[in-house]
Structure 1
Amino acid sequence: MTTIKAIRIEKTGGPETMALKEVELGNPRPGEITVRAKAIGVNFIDTYHRSGLYPVQLPSGIGMEAAGIVEATGEGVTQFTKGDRVAYASGPVGAYAEAHNVSAASAARIPDGVSDEEAAAMMLKGMTAQFLLRQTFRVEKGQTILWHAAAGGVGLIACQWAKHLGATVIGTTSSDEKAKLARAHGCDHVIDYTKEDVAARVMEITGGKKLPVVYDGVGKATFLSSLDSLAPLGLLVSFGNASGPVTDVNLGILAQKGSLYVTRPTMYHYAAKTPTAFQEMADDLFAVVKSGAVKIEINQRYSLAEAARAHLDLEARKTTGASVLVP
């Protein structure tokens, strides 16, 4: 057992429910590693756990990704040894901590040339971009795609990556400042969804052809405009709920709007396909970052004790790119 400082929530609610406490961290169980954090990623899914939108067993830690050094390995772990630089994403929740026990299968070795902060900032968002762009719908050269919230953490990575793959990228943002950021990170066209009709602009940009795929991490507020932006047989990839969950959907609307497809994928299912899937996805991500085609923008840094402020800024749409906590 080791005494560490970690963010804990006793009840669901606003950012004020998070408190920095001293807790006991046990030894890693079979299949687990203990990672001493050097940098911790902040993601929208963390706010879902804190608010109760995605239930967790209380009291609970919070946070899904971090980068650091392996301090100990559990029984059966062969791919890592003490001292290895690793980054992890996905559960169990509790990354907002000085150290955390995680499944070795959900961790990846960090290559030379990628910093701890970059790795912590890119894992959940970058791995999300990887499975969305390369697996859920395989983006190819010559296609035109739409990415909602293009100036967000996932959006900045994904739009650069999609541009690198040869796609024409349309992004949506909510301000002139974010529009400039999106253009600087791969977007050929930017739509301000607070002022413009997204589907109408997509029709204009594509000459009426519309799109084979729309990537939507916003949710409720953009669901219908996403469907209206798709060509017949197009795919809506709904991967987040920043504006609230999509509910009470009449499936007949998919037929009416062109025999459309909708999927609600998660990284977990892609990363668990095979024992080596997580490392392979991470290697793909690390390679595109090391090549310079995708740059990881860390635009906010907070101490571990400032986790509540990080959530306030994130939910107020005050952040761009990635945010990290530094323990």
Structure 2
Amino acid sequence: MRAIVASHPGDASVLQIADAPEPRPLAGEVLVDVAAVGVNFIDTYQRSGVYPVSFPFTPGLEGSGVVAEVGGAVTGFAPGDRVAWCSSLGSYAERVTVPAHALYAVPDSVDLRTAAAVTLQGLTAHFLSSSTFRLGPEHTALVHAGAGGVGLLLTQLACARGARVITTVSTEEKEALSRAAGASAVLRYDQMPDLSADLPAAVRELTNGDGVDVVYDGVGAATFDASLGSLAVRGMLVLFGGASGQVPDFNLQRLNAGGSLFVTRPSMGHYLRTEQERAWRAGEVFSAVASGELNVRVGATYPLDQAADAHRALESRGTSGKVLLLP
């Protein structure tokens, strides 16, 4: 079979297509014929060495496909089943073995490309809006990168919970996408010369001077100061990614001065700790997709052998919605 292999850390050019041995499922594993692979920022962090991995390695934590074979001691899955996953490394390949406990059954009402596009980011948006900060009609949220993969899904789930959503985007096209997802106001940070001052001022103008209850920030270094400045008293900054770079160390007294603020850095694994929690979150996400309540936007698709181009597109922040690789 073919797989993408990075022999050493570096820029996107280290991603090369290669022939790889046919995988076989061990006990507790399932062999899957891959239909689609989700491309995520964590893949770029691992490829570049920001997150340590052992090289050479095949990137990719997320995908969907059809079960080809099950290993020993596997129950609940059989050849022909439609499945998705978001926490099994090595998904940039034509076939992959996945631990059975990491698989989610995909209902027939959800196509496999959509499943690959929504699993990681949909589960992320779910735990952010329902658990990290449980949104309700009394809340106003600021969502950075509102036209990104997580941003579009998070906006829709937040609005479904009755919250008011303000987003940031960088282009007119992305503004339209964000408004279509339910944002009540969209701020163009590309039009703000001093983001750390201009964005909080714009947010407070929209909130009667109060600021927002929560900021969902997956951008990181470039937006961190503006995010803190946009919070209301006792507001929470949910820092769930670092697309622009990692946030440097900061003085905790800034939280006191800003209004007894909270900052959290959530990780998906801590919100998918039990079989019951995984089933609950995935069930709600796939049900919302099947009912049409949650619209999943696939912004771009690339053949597997163009994985480097997919990474470049994602890192340029020129994409909207989800980027997929198609083996």
Q: Give the shorter-chain TM-score range.
A: over 0.9
Matched residues in 2 for 1:29 and 1:251: separation?
47
Per the alignment, residue 320 of structure 1 pairs with 320
Matched, 1:108 2:109: no
Matched residues in 2 for 1:223 and 1:316: separation?
19
Superposed displacement of residue 288, structure 1: 1.3
Stretch of structure 1 that moved more, 297-306 or 70-79: 70-79
Contact persistence 1:107–1:279 (CA under 8 A): no
Superposed displacement of residue 213, structure 1: 0.8
Aligned partner letter, 1:262: V
TM-score (norm 2): 0.96
Superposed displacement of residue 176, structure 1: 1.6
Superposed displacement of residue 268, structure 1: 1.3
Secondary structure at the counterpart of residue 166 of structure 1 = coil
Per the alignment, residue 195 of structure 2 pairs with none
The unaligned stretches of length 5 or more in structure 2 are 193-197
CA deviations 1:126-184 (Å, max 9, x no partner) are 11101111111111123210000001111111111111221111000111221111111
Matched residues in 1 for 2:158 and 2:189: separation?
21
Contact persistence 2:23–2:31 (CA under 8 A): no
Per the alignment, residue 290 of structure 1 pairs with 290
Secondary structure at the counterpart of residue 256 of structure 2 = helix
Secondary structure at the counterpart of residue 222 of structure 2 = helix
Secondary structure at the counterpart of residue 220 of structure 1 = coil
Superposed displacement of residue 27, structure 1: 2.0
Per the alignment, residue 93 of structure 2 pairs with 97
Matched residues in 2 for 1:98 and 1:252: separation?
50
Secondary structure at the counterpart of residue 34 of structure 1 = strand
Stretch of structure 1 that moved more, 249-258 or 21-30: 21-30
Superposed displacement of residue 90, structure 1: 1.2
Aligned partner letter, 1:199: P
Contact persistence 1:37–1:66 (CA under 8 A): yes
Per the alignment, residue 126 of structure 1 pairs with 122
Aligned partner letter, 1:49: Q
The unaligned stretches of length 5 or more in structure 1 are none
Superposed displacement of residue 304, structure 1: 0.4
CA deviations 1:221-242 (Å, max 9, x no partner) are 1111111111111111000000
- Cα RMSD after superposing both structures: 1.2
Superposed displacement of residue 75, structure 1: 2.5
CA deviations 1:88-112 (Å, max 9, x no partner) are 0013x21110011112222100012
Matched residues in 2 for 1:225 and 1:117: separation?
35
Matched residues in 2 for 1:249 and 1:107: separation?
38
Per the alignment, residue 276 of structure 1 pairs with 276
Per the alignment, residue 252 of structure 1 pairs with 253
Matched residues in 1 for 2:26 and 2:59: separation?
19
- Count of matched residue positions in the alignment of Structure 1 and Structure 2: 322
Contact persistence 1:15–1:311 (CA under 8 A): yes
Superposed displacement of residue 279, structure 1: 2.4
Secondary structure at the counterpart of residue 259 of structure 2 = coil
Matched residues in 2 for 1:75 and 1:275: separation?
20
Per the alignment, residue 84 of structure 1 pairs with 81
TM-score (norm 1): 0.96
Per the alignment, residue 19 of structure 1 pairs with 16
Matched residues in 2 for 1:242 and 1:51: separation?
13
Per the alignment, residue 174 of structure 1 pairs with 170
Aligned partner letter, 2:100: A
Stretch of structure 1 that moved more, 71-80 or 169-178: 71-80
Per the alignment, residue 237 of structure 1 pairs with 238
Per the alignment, residue 48 of structure 2 pairs with 51
Aligned partner letter, 2:316: A
Contact persistence 2:126–2:281 (CA under 8 A): yes
CA deviations 1:248-302 (Å, max 9, x no partner) are 211111111111111111111211x212322221111011112212101112111
Aligned partner letter, 1:102: V
Secondary structure at the counterpart of residue 312 of structure 2 = helix
Matched, 1:70 2:67: yes
Secondary structure at the counterpart of residue 38 of structure 2 = strand
Per the alignment, residue 61 of structure 1 pairs with 58
Contact persistence 1:71–1:83 (CA under 8 A): yes
Aligned partner letter, 1:178: K
Contact persistence 1:109–1:279 (CA under 8 A): no
Aligned partner letter, 2:242: N
Superposed displacement of residue 68, structure 1: 0.4
Contact persistence 1:34–1:101 (CA under 8 A): yes
Secondary structure at the counterpart of residue 194 of structure 1 = helix
Contact persistence 1:65–1:120 (CA under 8 A): yes
